[in-house]
Amino acid sequence: MSTATDRGRAAPIRVRAAALAGFALLASGCARTPRTGASLHPLYGLAPRLAFTLQDAASGAAVTAAAFRGRVVMLYFGYTHCPDVCPTTLTKLAAAVRALPPEERRRVRILFVTVDPARDTLAVLRAYAAAFGPEVVGLRGTKAEIDRLAARYRVTYSFGKPNARGNYDVTHSSAVFIFGRDGGSAAVVEPADGVPAIRATLRTLASRA
């Protein structure tokens, strides 16, 4: 599984083999649609539909997946203390959204779910999400809530041993899941995927009724 740590190192990328393990027929689906430089790995609805109840960092209120129906959603798990992989990923996703025509841009949201709620308070997460653009929504929850959502999409994360200052590393999956406007799974973004491929997928999904 592709992972990221707060040292900025990434493990070998094996998203389809590990992060998507258990989603039957994924390999055959990808075989039917060969990947090119302008496309992402499709999920064909094989991953679970978007479903959660978490806390919106901007308002502090509880929010569910239903609030994002009618929008294309990119779901990414990370944490604000990550010095490299998380900000790089969010910057790329935000760039893909900004490259869309205005009407389509309004139909896309990036949901950033922190796996480190102890350090990522509402204020910290709110400021972090806002730094990448208005389309980024910071979400947090209890460990149990985050664990349930992570398990739903085969996402893993773990904490390193705190040092003398109380700081610690967090290792987490780096896949980004894309959901259509109806909440069904549509594609997965791997770290090697570029802005053009992401933008092309978002345009297709955003234009669908």
Summarised one tens digit per residue, pLDDT across range 169-208 is: 888 888 899 999 999 999 999 989 999 999 999 999 998 8
What is the rounded distance in angstroms from the CA atom of residue 118 to the CA atom of residue 192?
A: 30
What is the rounded distance in angstroms from the CA atom of residue 102 to the CA atom of residue 155?
A: 32
Taking 80 as the threshold, does the pLDDT of residue 104 lie above it?
yes
Taking 60 as the threshold, does the pLDDT of residue 71 lie above it?
yes
Domain count, the chain: 1
- Structural contact between residues 154 and 22, judged by C-beta atoms closer than 8 angstroms: yes
pLDDT at residue 44, as a whole number: 75
pLDDT at residue 19, as a whole number: 40
**Cross-strand pairs, 74:** 110, 178
CA 156 to chain centre: 13
What is the rounded distance in angstroms from the CA atom of residue 39 to the CA atom of residue 194?
A: 9
Record the tokens describing residue 170, joined without a space: 């967090």
Question: Mean pLDDT, the chain, as a whole number?
Answer: 83
Q: Which domain range does residue 180 map to?
A: 3-159+167-206
**104: phi then psi, degrees, rounded to nearest 5:** -75, -35
Residues 6+ apart with CB under 8 A from 130: 58, 136
Is this structure's pTM higher than 0.85?
no
Taking 50 as the threshold, does the pLDDT of residue 23 lie above it?
no
Taking 50 as the threshold, does the pLDDT of residue 157 lie above it?
yes
- Structural contact between residues 57 and 140, judged by C-beta atoms closer than 8 angstroms: yes
CA Rg value for the chain:
16
Record the tokens describing residue 8, joined without a space: 């900025």
Q: Which of 4, 1, 2 is nearest to 169 (CA)?
A: 4
Record the tokens describing residue 25, joined without a space: 């027929």
Beta strand 170-173 with 157-159: parallel, antiparallel or unpaired? antiparallel
Query: Beta strands of the chain (E only): which ranges?
Result: 3-4, 41-42, 53-56, 62-64, 72-78, 108-114, 136-140, 157-159, 170-173, 176-179, 185-189
Q: How many CB atoms lie within 10 A of CB 65?
A: 18
Residue 189's domain is classified under what CATH number? 3.40.30.10
Model pLDDT for residues 38-61, shown as the tens digit of each residue: 568 888 778 999 999 999 999 999
Q: Using the 8-state DSSP alphabet, how is residue 10 labeled?
A: B
